[in-house]
Amino acid sequence: MIRAPDSTPDPLLSLYGERHRLCPIPNSELQLVLSLDRQIDLIELEQLCDAVGWSRRPLRKVRKALEHSLLCVGLWRHDTRLPKLVGFARCTGDGVVAATVWDVAVHPLYQGAGLGTQLMAFVLAELQGLGVDRVTLFADPHVVEFYAAQGWELEPLQRRCAFWYAP
Ligand SMILES: CC(C)(COP(=O)(O)OP(=O)(O)OC[C@H]1O[C@@H](n2cnc3c(N)ncnc32)[C@H](O)[C@@H]1OP(=O)(O)O)[C@@H](O)C(=O)NCCC(=O)NCCS
């Protein structure tokens, strides 16, 4: 007897691409999916940034920033017709040695369920897969603990880092 190869289709594949992961969360009625492949809608991203209280940036700049990012990760509330963007993070970098994480956000309605932690773990796993072993980020002061609890080291004595902001 010839058996068909085990080819049970992954229903999430067509929506979220190869590089996706289902997030375990306490509320089992929802499916939350992290994806590197599903295209980020700029308006949805703006709504997410509004929801976490960030000031708006011109969409043409955001579009370019995303295009030039090393990776952009969306966190989606799964829906077969219209997945909703409920979290986001992106990285810039050279793709082999060093990267910087930016714009980490989880929509307030979905915070406190471990999704921010899973989002960061997903980002770091992807960077590690690329061979990147030096990762930085600039935490807002009120979020330092969120990163510290995940093993991020604080920049020692504030001696190593320099900022330049356009006047
Ligand atoms: C920071 C953020 C991404 C965390 O997302 P989240 O899904 O709520 O995070 P988690 O549920 O995985 O939280 C993990 C732990 O960090 C803690 N934590 C979450 N947000 C925190 C914060 N702002 N400050 C300190 N600790 C925080 C949680 O209490 C939890 O602790 P526990 O494991 O002891 O319960 C989310 O609060 C957010 O989007 N905030 C607004 C945007 C922002 O400030 N982004 C960071 C810019 S640097």
Q: Which of 27, 115, 146, 150 to mutate to test the pocket of ligand 1 (most atoms within 8 A of CB)?
A: 146
Q: What is the pLDDT of residue 3?
A: 55
Is 164 part of any domain?
no
- Domain holding 124: CATH number? 3.40.630.30
Give the tens place of pLDDT for each residue, 41-86: 999 999 999 999 999 999 999 999 999 999 999 999 999 999 999 9
Burial classification of residue 65, based on how many CB atoms lie within 10 Å of its CB (0-12 exposed, 13-18 middle, 19 or more buried): middle
Is 5 part of any domain?
no
How close is the Cα of 8 to the center of ligand 1, in Å? 36
Cα–Cα distance list, 117 to 4, 8, 148, 165 (Å): 39, 30, 11, 29
Please give the model's pTM, rounded to 2 decimal places.
0.93
Q: What is the pLDDT of residue 120?
A: 98
Alpha carbons 21 and 12: distance in angstroms, whole number: 9
Is 163 part of any domain?
no
Taking residues 109-115, report their average pLDDT. 96
Domain count along the chain: 1
Give the domain extent around 139: 13-158
Q: What secondary structure does DSSP assign to 107-124, as a single string? A: -GGGTTSSHHHHHHHHHH
Is 167 part of any domain?
no
CB 137 within 8 A of CB 146: no
- Ligand 1 contact, 48 CB (< 6 A): no
Name the percent of the chain lying above pLDDT 90: 81
